[in-house]
Amino acid sequence: MTEDQLILTPNINGADDFYADLLTAHEGLSKAESDALNARLVLVLANHIGKRAILKQALAAAALKPGEDTA
Amino acid sequence: MNKIFEVPLYPYAHHTDEDAAAPARRKVVVIGAGPVGLAAAIDLAQQGTEVVVLDDNDKVSFGSRAICFAKRPLEILDRLGCGQPMVDKGVQWNVGKVFFDDRQVYDFNLLPEDGHKRPAFINLQQYYFEEYLVKRVRELQEQGAPIEIRGRNKVSAIGTHPDHVVLEIDTPEGSYNLEADWLIACDGAGSPTRQMLGLDFVGRVFEDNFLIADVIMDADFPTERWFWFDPPFNKGQSALLHKQPDGVWRIDLQLGWDIDKEREKRPENVIPRLKAMLGEDVKFELEWVSIYTFQCRRMEQFRHGRVLFAGDSAHQVSPFGARGANSGLQDTDNLCWKLQLVIDGKAPESLLNSYDVERVHGADENILNSSRSTDFITPKSEMSRVLRDAVLDLSEHYEFARPLVNSGRLSVPCTYDGSPLNSADALDGPERTRPGSSCPDAPLGDGFLLDKLGGKFVLLTIDADAPDVFEEQGIEVTRLALSVKDDKTLALKDRYLGSNDSGVYLIRPDQHVAARRPSFDENQFRHAIRRAIGKE
């Protein structure tokens, strides 16, 4: 696996804990507030990744079209 | 007191062409005495080509209109002999503030790169800009240059022929016909020329309206660019505050697409909006109010036989990024030397097709950039608004989000990558001076590089040998011999050599790079010249 390759195999230590954190972050928020939180989260994570090639693969993977260039 | 835009600067005067039994024939006719048309005419007249500018009006632009002039157009104006008065009068700024809802989210300093004669841009009302161009026309006339402006000469019909055009022109004293070898249409976004010739104007159409106001006030707002997303005084829309010379402030309020233009323009509707923005106590006087509707689109081709389109007549962009008048000046900069060579018989007519290739590329770049700004400023869907607002909220707290904020990407010169006039890059040099690039300026002791390049073909040698003059196909190329030692700041080295010890550049009359190599190679540079004039 090269570093220009999006990781699509399990990669989070404590997957259940992360998922619980994600739900907790949304607790008590309205739909609009949750949408805003998700949007900010995407932008924060995208900036952390930084690599356009990875981000393109991530957009395709999220669209459930891995391997396609949807961007 | 009369404002400059209320005084006829080129009033109608009877011309003998109106009495001619057979239509007079002129080398070049330019339709439209706006910034682009005047720049084209000055460029050609400076090279000795006869040019007549026709305008249906007799005054400079009413109201400020285009107000932001970027570095490259200012450099072009230097070559046209009128950059200095623009820069002397214009307002320079480096700090911008971004507001979202009811708060400032961040500010920025443009920190322009050192070692350029001209600033990143100036704010100057279009009427001053045009006034200085008209002054330059008068100066050229005094020196005997073959240039004239005919006010209140409205073109009402155009006949196109393989080697000329025929114009029917209406004046206050009646109609007359005039022939021209070449016609340059600089008659704006609604171009009557384009309509008379039945030509397309395609692209993505955004319908959006802006209330544009010039406001005179003694306010202690600093000389900064303030941009608001979704402010309380203009909910769901944007607003811009910019300083112009003479204590005139320019305010752009986005209104959306479904509005009653006449109603919005009335002072009783405008003044409350401005008060909500500036504060109830601020005293101001309205100089000019207009509603501006914009679209993003371009003609498929800018050359149609003997008719050449330049500026807004060929392409229109949103106002974000100041890419209208700025790109129009780059159009004429690109066009005029080519037209001159064709008129002089030194280049084939097909050279003009490269105007089309290069400036369509420029227009597409401008349309792409301004469409992206528009999409950020006016989100088109619920989720694009959510993402936009997320960027703005994050920008208040984290630096990383600020480059994503898009209130307009300011006009920078287009690089003509892939142009048929470029020779393959033979220098492993800086990216910014690859063939197709516009030459970046550099300080040379008491002067600047671009002033020394001027407006002819130049062989720029940096620590390299070459003949002082050399001719190919009737094109005389003069050498500008420099050394990295000529610039102690090392900007010349950084911008033109990179890690190389020497470099030789063939530079076009519009100061774009045609070819570059580490050293002079006669055969290669002869090829490069032929290529640059459309002969290879």
DSSP A9: S
**Percent of chain B scoring above 70 in pLDDT:** 99
For residue A32, what is the nearest residue in chain B, using CA coordinates? Answer: B386
Residue B365 has pLDDT above 50, yes or no: yes
Chosen from A35, A41, A48 to mutate, greatest number of chain B CBs within 10 A: A35
- Rounded to a whole number, what is the distance in Å from the CA of B435 to chain A's nearest CA? 27
- Rounded to a whole number, what is the distance in Å from the CA of A47 to chain B's nearest CA? 7
Residue B116 has pLDDT above 50, yes or no: yes
State how far the Cα of B124 lies from the Cα of B162, in Å rounded to an integer.
Answer: 41
State how far the Cα of B74 lies from the Cα of B441, in Å rounded to an integer.
Answer: 12
Q: Is A33 on the interface with B (CB under 8 A)?
A: no
- Rounded to a whole number, what is the distance in Å from the CA of A69 to chain B's nearest CA? 20
Provide the pLDDT for residue A2. 66
* pLDDT, tens only, B477-501: 999 999 999 999 999 999 999 999 9
State how far the Cα of B536 lies from the Cα of B521, in Å rounded to an integer.
Answer: 18
At B358, list the tokens: 């290069």
Residue with tokens 């900064």: B224
The answer to whether the Cβ–Cβ distance between A35 and B404 falls below 8 Å is no
Residue B340 has pLDDT above 60, yes or no: yes
Residue B286 has pLDDT above 80, yes or no: yes
Residue B1 has pLDDT above 60, yes or no: no
DSSP A65: -
Provide the pLDDT for residue B218. 78
* pLDDT, tens only, A28-47: 999 999 999 999 999 999 99
* pLDDT, tens only, B297-336: 899 999 999 999 999 999 988 777 788 889 999 999 999 9
Provide the pLDDT for residue B41. 98
Average pLDDT over residues B57-86: 92
State how far the Cα of B56 lies from the Cα of B87, in Å rounded to an integer.
Answer: 29
Average pLDDT over residues B177-200: 95
The ipTM assigned to this model is 0.94
Provide the pLDDT for residue B204. 64
Residue A71 has pLDDT above 60, yes or no: no
Of A45-54, B314-323, B364-373, B502-511, the range with the lowest mean pLDDT is B314-323
Residue B393 has pLDDT above 60, yes or no: yes
Residue A70 has pLDDT above 90, yes or no: no
Q: Is A47 on the interface with B (CB under 8 A)?
A: yes
Average pLDDT over residues B260-271: 90
State how far the Cα of B455 lies from the Cα of B52, in Å rounded to an integer.
Answer: 21
* pLDDT, tens only, B418-467: 999 999 999 999 999 999 999 999 999 989 999 999 999 999 999 999 99
* Chain B residues near residue A43 by CB distance under 8 angstroms: 387, 390-391, 394, 401, 404
Please give the radius of gyration of chain A, using alpha carbons only, rounded to the nearest integer: 14
The band of B509, judged by pLDDT with boundaries at 50, 70 and 90, is very high
Domain residue ranges in chain A: 30-71
Picking from A39, A44, A47, the nearest residue to B386 by CB comes out as: A39
Average pLDDT, chain B: 94
Q: Is A35 on the interface with B (CB under 8 A)?
A: yes
Please give the radius of gyration of chain B, using alpha carbons only, rounded to the nearest integer: 24
Q: Is B391 on the interface with A (CB under 8 A)?
A: yes
What's the N-to-C CA distance of chain B in angstroms? 58
State how far the Cα of B414 lies from the Cα of B436, in Å rounded to an integer.
Answer: 8
